[in-house]
Amino acid sequence: MAVSSSDSSQTPTPSTEHAEYDYEELPETSTLNMHLIAGAAAGIMEHSVMYPFDIVKTRMQVVGSPSAVVYSGVTQALRAISTTEGIRSLWRGVMSVVLGAGPAHAVYFAAYEQTKKVLTVASGGNANALAAGSTHAQTNHHFFYICVGAAGGVATVVSDALMNPFDVVKQRMQLANTGYRNIFDCAATVFRKEGIRAFYISYPTTLVMNMPFQSIQFGCYDLFRRTLNPTGTYSPLTHVVAGGMAGAVAAALTTPIDCCKTLLQTRGASADPEVRAASSMLQSAKIIYTRQGVLGFVRGMQPRVIANMPATAISWTTYEYFKWMIARRNSSSANA
C-alpha cells in the first residue's frame, strides 16, 4: 500500500506532492554521500541475510574439490552442512561480504543514479518526470528503460572491480575442508600461493555475468515497479514484490555464467590439474560441459534464485527507504 493517499477529494499540499513523487529520484541537491549511504546499507542487508543459500549454491557448482558434494536439494544441503559442520558454518566467510558489499554497493548505487540521470537528460528527458511517470514523459518511457539498463551495466563495471577480491575470499571460505582460520588468513594464503591474479582472474567472467544480470534486474525492477504502482508513491510492498521478481528473473537467466565464475574462483582449492589450470570463461565452460554435460550449467539455479529473490527485494526496499527518508528530510528542510 502506498504511503501517500491518492484520494482526489483531498487537496495535497506542495510538501505532500514532493514526498509522493520526488523521492524516486533524489533531489539535485543530494550529495554523493547520500547515494553512498543508501547503497551501502542495501548491499550489506542484501548479502548477509540470505548468505546460507549462497553457500549451498557454491557447494553445488564447485568442480573438482573436496566440497563437490552431491546434494538432493536446498533443504537437504542446509541440513547436511549444519549437521556435519555446525550451524555457524552456514555463515562462514560472511565477513568478507560485509566488508566488501558496503563499499561496492555504495559505489554501485551512486554510479547507477548518476549514470541514469546523465543518460536521461542527454536523451532530452527529465529524470524526475520520468521517474514519477508523468503524462508528459510517457513517450520517453521505452528509452528510459534502456537508460536504466545501461546505468545498471556501468555501475556493475565499477563496483565489481572493488568487490571481486572479496567475492573470491567469500567463495573459498564457503568450501568445506579448506582449513582457513578466517577471511584474513584465507586472503593471505591465496595471495601467497596464487598471487594477486587469483583475486581478479574471474573479473572478466564476473562482468559477463553481472552486466546482463544487473541490466535485466534494473530494467525488470523499474518495469514491475511502474506496473504495480503507476502513481509513483512510496510503497514498500511494491518495492518488495518488484525487487523479488526482478532478482528471480535475472538470477535464473545468468546461472550458466555463474557456474563458470564459481569454477574460476575456487580453482585453487581443486585437486584436479585441469580445473587448477583454467584461466578463462571459455575454459571453465568446456570443463563443466565435459564433466557434467549441459545440466552442469544450471547447477545451483534453485538456491541462486531462492537467495536472489529476497536478497534483491531487501536491497531495493532498503535503498528505496533511504531515498524516501532523504527526500522527506530535504523537503522538510526546504519548507521550514
**Does residue 41 contact residue 33 with C-beta atoms inside 8 Å?**
no
Residue 152 has pLDDT above 80, yes or no: no
Q: How far apart are CA 234 and CA 27, in angstroms?
A: 15
Q: How far apart are CA 54 and CA 14, in angstroms?
A: 45
Residue 19 has pLDDT above 90, yes or no: no
pLDDT level of residue 8 (50, 70, 90 thresholds): very low
**Does residue 232 contact residue 21 with C-beta atoms inside 8 Å?**
yes
Residue 103 has pLDDT above 90, yes or no: no
Residue 28 has pLDDT above 90, yes or no: no
Average pLDDT taken over every residue of the chain:
80
Task: Classify each residue of 221-238 as buried b or exposed e, where b means 16 or more C-beta atoms within 10 Å of its C-beta.
Answer: bbbbbbeebeebbbbeeb
Per-residue pLDDT averaged across 288-304, rounded?
93
pLDDT level of residue 166 (50, 70, 90 thresholds): very high
Look at the alpha carbons of 330, 100, 198, 265 in this order and tell me if their dihedral is positive or negative.
Answer: negative
pTM value?
0.69
DSSP codes, 60-80: HH--SSTT----S-HHHHHHH
Cβ-Cβ contacts under 8 Å for 234 (sequence gap 6 or more):
2, 3, 4, 19, 20, 23, 320, 324
> What's the pLDDT at 21?
38
**Does residue 219 contact residue 141 with C-beta atoms inside 8 Å?**
no
Domain boundaries, the chain: 28-331
Look at the alpha carbons of 59, 62, 66, 72 in this order and tell me if their dihedral is positive or negative.
Answer: positive
> What's the pLDDT at 70?
67
> What's the pLDDT at 167?
92
What cell was used for 268? Answer: 585453487
The CATH H-level (homologous superfamily) assignment of domain 28-331 is Mitochondrial carrier domain (1.50.40.10)
